[in-house]
Structure 1
Amino acid sequence: MRVFKNSYLAYLLMYMCYYLSWALFSSLISVYLLDLGYKASQVSAVVSTSFIASMLSQPLIGWLNDRMGIKKVTWLLLFLTIPGALLMIATQNLLLITLAYSWVLLLVNGSIPVMEKIATSSPFTYGKIRIWGTIGFALGSQFAGLIYERIAPYAVFLAFIISMLLTLLGIWGTEVDEDVHLAKTPQLSAPDSTRKALFHNQTYLFYLFIAMLFSGVTNAGHTYIPAMLEASGFTVQRVSSIVALAVLFETPLTLFSYKFMDQLSSSRLFKLTTLFVMLQFMIYALELGPMSKVIVTLLGKHTTGMLFIMLNMKIVSSLVDKRYLITALSLVQVFRSLGSILTQSVVGQIIDRWSYSAMCWFLAMVALIVYGLLHKISLPDGRNQNLFSKS
C-alpha cells in the first residue's frame, strides 16, 4: 500500500473512475425515464431539479473544502453518492428518482473544482492526469449503453457504485498538501472573511458573469447538438458514436496542455476559445451540410469545454487568495449552472418556435457578446503559476 500512496496509479484510478461514474449515472437518464413511461416534460423536470440542487449546494461544499480539507470532504461526498444510486435501483417513483438523481449529481458536481485542483497539485503534469478523465467519460458513455441493452437498466447504477468505490480508493491513495494548510488557516473560521475576499474582488465578480454567459452557450450546445444531428438525418446510434468520438478529441489538449496553457496569457486563451465557439455555432447555423456539422462537432463540442475547464482553474487561481480557491471555484460552478438553466430555457423556446439554425445564431450572438466583454476585463496574465507544466 505504501507503493500505491501518491503513485500515478492512484491518480489514474481516481480520475478515470470518477468520470466513468459520472457518465454511467447521467448519460442515459432521459432514456431510462422514458422507458419507465414518464413524459419528456417530466424528464426535463428531473434534470432541471438536479441543476438547481447542484447550484444551491456549491457554495456550502466549497466552504467545507476550504474549512476542513479537500481530500477528506471529497471522499465523504463521493461516498454519500452510493445511497442515492441504491435508491435509483430500488424505486420507480418519480419523486424518489428526482431526489436520488439530484442528490447524486449535487455531490458529483460539487466535487468538480476539487478534482481539477488535485490534478494541478499532483506530482505529475496536469495532462498526464486529466487525460484519464477524458478516457473515463468516453468509456462510461459506451459502457452505459452496453449494460443498459445487454444486461438491465438498473445494472447501470450497480456499475456506477463499483466505479465510485474504485474512485474512493484512488482518492485515498493521493496526497494533497493543501489539506493541512487549509484546515489550520485561522482566517477560514468565519464565512465573513471568505465573502470579503471574493465579493469585494471586482474582477472576480465580472469574471463570474462572463463565465455564466460562456457556459450557458457551451452547455446548451452539449444538450441540443445530439438532437440537432438527429434532425439532420443521422440515426441515434450514429449520433452516439459521433458524440463519444468527440469526447476523445479532448485528449491532445489535456495531454499537451503543458505546451500552451502556461505559455499563453489567460486573456488571449479565453478570446481564442470564445472565437472558436462562435465559429462553431455559425457553421451549424449556416446549414452547410451534415458532414460540416459532424466535423465541427468533433473539433469543438468537447474541446472548447475542456479548454474552459483549464482556463477557469488558471484564471481563478490568479484572481483569488489560495486559501479561498475551492470556494471561488465552487462559486464559478454556481454561475455556470445558472447560465445553463437560463440559456437552455431560452434555446428550448427558440427551437420550438423556429429551428435549430435559429438556436445556433442565438448562441453565436451570445458568444460574440462574451468576446466583447473579454476586452473590458483585465485578467491577470497567469503565466507565472506553472499549473500545467511541472514535471
Structure 2
Amino acid sequence: MSGSLSGKYLGGAGSRYWSVSALYLFIYYGFGAFSPLITQYYKSIHLSGTQIGAISAVAPVVAIVAQPMWGLICDRFQIRKAVLLFTLLLSGLIGLFFTTVSTYAFVFLLYILLSFFQSAVVPISDSLALGYAKKNQLQFGDLRLWGAVGFALAAFVTGLLVERWGPATLFYSYCLAFIAALLFLLRVPEEVTESSRFTVSMLKGMKQLLRIPRFLLFLLASFCMFGAINANNIWFSLYYQEIGGTVAGVGLAFLLFAGSEAPFMKLAGYFVRRFGLETVLLSAAVFSALRWFWYSSAPSTLAVLILFFIQGLSVGFYLATAAQFVRENTPSSLQVTALAVFFSVGSGLGTMLCNLLAGWIKDEFSTLAIYLFFGMVTAVGIIPLCLIRFGRWKQAKHAEEWDVTR
C-alpha cells in the first residue's frame, strides 16, 4: 500500500481496512491448512483414488445448491455479515469432527455437512470486500492478496505439523483459523447501497443473469479454470510426492505458490488499468494451461519450486480480477447472487468434474496423467475468454441498461 493510501487509512478507517485484510488472512489460512494436506488424511485411512475423487467432488455438488441459496438469503434480507458469522462458526466446529471418523462413509457424510456451510464463506466475504473497496476507492486485489498470504503460511506451517504430529493437526488449524476470522469479521463494515436494497426473486434474478452473454461466457471459462485450480489443491500433495518430494516439501511448495499470488494480486490493478480486465484474465488462463502441461511431463521437484511464480501469474491474476469482472458485468442488486452462481459453476461444477475424473485417472493411469487432463480442461476455458476479449460481446453493458424487474 502506497504512502498516500496508508495515510488515508489511519485511525478508524485504517482499523476497518486491516479488519477486512485479517478476515481474508484467516479465512484462507483455514483453507490453506485443509485443502493442500487433506489427502494425507485420506491416505492415513487408506482411501483409494476413486474414493478421494468422490469425496472431493461432493463439496462442489453441495455448493451448486447451497451457494445460490446463501446468496438469495443475503440479497433478500441484507444480512451478509450475520450469515458469514454463522457459517464460519459452524464450518470450523464441523472440521473438528474429522478427527473422530476413519471410514469412507462417515468421511463422505461429514464432508457434505461441512461443504454446506463452507460454501457461503467465499462469495459472501468477497461481496463484503468488494463493497468496501468500491466505497473507499480501493483495488479489490489489495484486499484479496491477504488471502494468498494466509493460504501460503498455513500450507507451510501445517505441512510441518502434519509431518511431525500427523494429519489430525490440519483440522485443529482449520478450526482455529475460522474462529479468528469470525472475530475480525465483527469489525468489518457491511456496505449497503440503495441499489443493493432492491431485491428480486431467485427465479427472476437467475433469468436476468442468464441474459448476459459476457457473464455466461465467463461462467464457462471459470468452469474450466477454477475446476483445475481447485482440484490441484487436492491432488498436488500426492503429485509432489510421486515426483520425489516429501510432506514438508508440499508445505514449502504451497508457501511459495500461494505466496507468489500476493504480489501479483497487488500488481493486478496496474495491469488491468494498463491492458484491460479481459486481457489480464486471458493471460492468466494461458499461463495456467502451460503450467499444467509442464507438470504432466514430470519435472524435478527443484524445478517446480524454482518456477513457483507461475502460480502468481496464473492463479494470482485470475483470483484478483474474476470477482471484479462479475461485479462489473451484472446488476448491483444481484451482486451476491451473481457471485454465488459464479462460484457454484467454477468452484462447484468445474471442481466436481475435475476431482471425479482425477480420481479415476489416478487409479487407471497415474498422478502425472491428472495434470495432462488439467491442462486440456484449462485450454478449453481459454476459448470463451477469447470470445469475451475479441468477439462480438467485448463491450460491457452500462449499469443504467440493467432492468431486473423484467
Indicate whether 1:173 and 2:173 are aligned. no
Match of 1:78 among 75, 85, 88: 88
SS state at 1:250 partner: helix
Match of 2:216 among 198, 205, 213: 205
Q: Residues 281 and 89 of structure 1: is their aligned pair in 2 closer, same or farther, counting only changes over 3 Å?
A: closer
**C-alpha displacement of 1:33:** 3.8
- In the alignment, which residue of structure 2 is the partner of 1:229? 240
- In the alignment, which residue of structure 2 is the partner of 1:389? none
Match of 1:241 among 252, 256, 263: 252
Q: Take 2:356 and 2:102, find their aligned partners in 1: how far apart are those partners?
A: 27
**C-alpha displacement of 1:252:** 0.8
Q: Residues 176 and 202 of structure 1: is their aligned pair in 2 closer, same or farther, counting only changes over 3 Å?
A: same
- In the alignment, which residue of structure 2 is the partner of 1:130? 144
Residue pair 2:160, 2:251 contacting (<8 A) in 1 also: no
Q: Take 2:182 and 2:202, find their aligned partners in 1: how far apart are those partners?
A: 29
Letter in 2 for 1:279: L
Letter in 1 for 2:26: C
Letter in 1 for 2:208: A
Q: Residues 53 and 42 of structure 1: is their aligned pair in 2 closer, same or farther, counting only changes over 3 Å?
A: same
Letter in 1 for 2:183: L
Q: Residues 240 and 24 of structure 1: is their aligned pair in 2 closer, same or farther, counting only changes over 3 Å?
A: closer
**C-alpha displacement of 1:238:** 2.5
SS state at 1:178 partner: coil
Q: Take 1:66 and 1:109, find their aligned partners in 2: how far apart are those partners?
A: 16
**C-alpha displacement of 1:90:** 4.6
**C-alpha displacement of 1:250:** 0.8
Runs ≥4 residues deviating over 6 A: none
Matches within 5 A, 1:61-140: 61-69=70-78, 70-92=80-102, 94-122=104-132, 123=136, 125-140=139-154
TM-score between both structures, scaled by the size of structure 2? 0.80
Q: Take 1:88 and 1:359, find their aligned partners in 2: how far apart are those partners?
A: 27
TM-score between both structures, scaled by the size of structure 1? 0.83
Indicate whether 1:161 and 2:175 are aligned. yes
Letter in 2 for 1:335: V
Indicate whether 1:145 and 2:145 are aligned. no
**C-alpha displacement of 1:277:** 1.8
Residue pair 1:120, 1:126 contacting (<8 A) in 2 also: yes
Q: Take 2:244 and 2:101, find their aligned partners in 1: how far apart are those partners?
A: 36
Indicate whether 1:48 and 2:48 are aligned. no
Q: Take 1:16 and 1:214, find their aligned partners in 2: how far apart are those partners?
A: 23
Residue pair 1:318, 1:380 contacting (<8 A) in 2 also: no
**C-alpha displacement of 1:309:** 1.9
Q: Take 1:359 and 1:228, find their aligned partners in 2: how far apart are those partners?
A: 9
Q: Take 1:293 and 1:25, find their aligned partners in 2: how far apart are those partners?
A: 22
Deviating more after overlay: 142-151 vs 102-111: 142-151
Deviating more after overlay: 7-16 vs 123-132: 123-132
Q: Take 1:349 and 1:38, find their aligned partners in 2: how far apart are those partners?
A: 13
Q: Take 2:13 and 2:102, find their aligned partners in 1: how far apart are those partners?
A: 40
**C-alpha displacement of 1:342:** 1.7
Q: Residues 92 and 361 of structure 1: is their aligned pair in 2 closer, same or farther, counting only changes over 3 Å?
A: closer
Q: Take 1:282 and 1:274, find their aligned partners in 2: how far apart are those partners?
A: 13
- In the alignment, which residue of structure 1 is the partner of 2:230? 219
- In the alignment, which residue of structure 2 is the partner of 1:387? none
Residue pair 1:315, 1:382 contacting (<8 A) in 2 also: no
Q: Take 2:60 and 2:169, find their aligned partners in 1: how far apart are those partners?
A: 24
Indicate whether 1:279 and 2:290 are aligned. yes
Q: Take 1:4 and 1:314, find their aligned partners in 2: how far apart are those partners?
A: 22
- In the alignment, which residue of structure 1 is the partner of 2:319? 309
Q: Take 2:167 and 2:294, find their aligned partners in 1: how far apart are those partners?
A: 37
Q: Take 1:372 and 1:295, find their aligned partners in 2: how far apart are those partners?
A: 30
Q: Residues 361 and 48 of structure 1: is their aligned pair in 2 closer, same or farther, counting only changes over 3 Å?
A: closer
Q: Take 1:382 and 1:294, find their aligned partners in 2: how far apart are those partners?
A: 42
CA RMSD of aligned residues (A): 3.2
SS state at 1:192 partner: helix
- In the alignment, which residue of structure 1 is the partner of 2:19? 10
Residue pair 2:19, 2:184 contacting (<8 A) in 1 also: yes
Q: Residues 171 and 375 of structure 1: is their aligned pair in 2 closer, same or farther, counting only changes over 3 Å?
A: same
Matches within 5 A, 1:331-346: 331-336=341-346, 337-346=348-357
Residue pair 1:270, 1:311 contacting (<8 A) in 2 also: yes
Residue pair 2:27, 2:181 contacting (<8 A) in 1 also: yes
Count residues in correspondence.
Answer: 379
Q: Take 1:370 and 1:360, find their aligned partners in 2: how far apart are those partners?
A: 15
Q: Take 1:90 and 1:228, find their aligned partners in 2: how far apart are those partners?
A: 27
Q: Take 2:368 and 2:171, find their aligned partners in 1: how far apart are those partners?
A: 36
Q: Take 1:241 and 1:247, find their aligned partners in 2: how far apart are those partners?
A: 10
SS state at 1:376 partner: helix
SS state at 1:200 partner: coil
1:162-220 C-alpha deviation (Å, 9 max, x unpaired): 322221121110112127764x42x42x2232122112223322321222122233334
1:209-245 C-alpha deviation (Å, 9 max, x unpaired): 2221222333344444443333333334334322321
Letter in 1 for 2:205: T
SS state at 1:256 partner: helix
Deviating more after overlay: 99-108 vs 33-42: 33-42
**C-alpha displacement of 1:82:** 3.9
Indicate whether 1:374 and 2:403 are aligned. no
Structure 1: segments with no counterpart, 5+ residues: 385-391
Q: Take 1:359 and 1:22, find their aligned partners in 2: how far apart are those partners?
A: 22
Deviating more after overlay: 89-98 vs 298-307: 89-98
Indicate whether 1:255 and 2:266 are aligned. yes
Structure 2: segments with no counterpart, 5+ residues: 1-10, 400-406
Q: Take 2:164 and 2:373, find their aligned partners in 1: how far apart are those partners?
A: 40
Q: Take 2:267 and 2:259, find their aligned partners in 1: how far apart are those partners?
A: 14
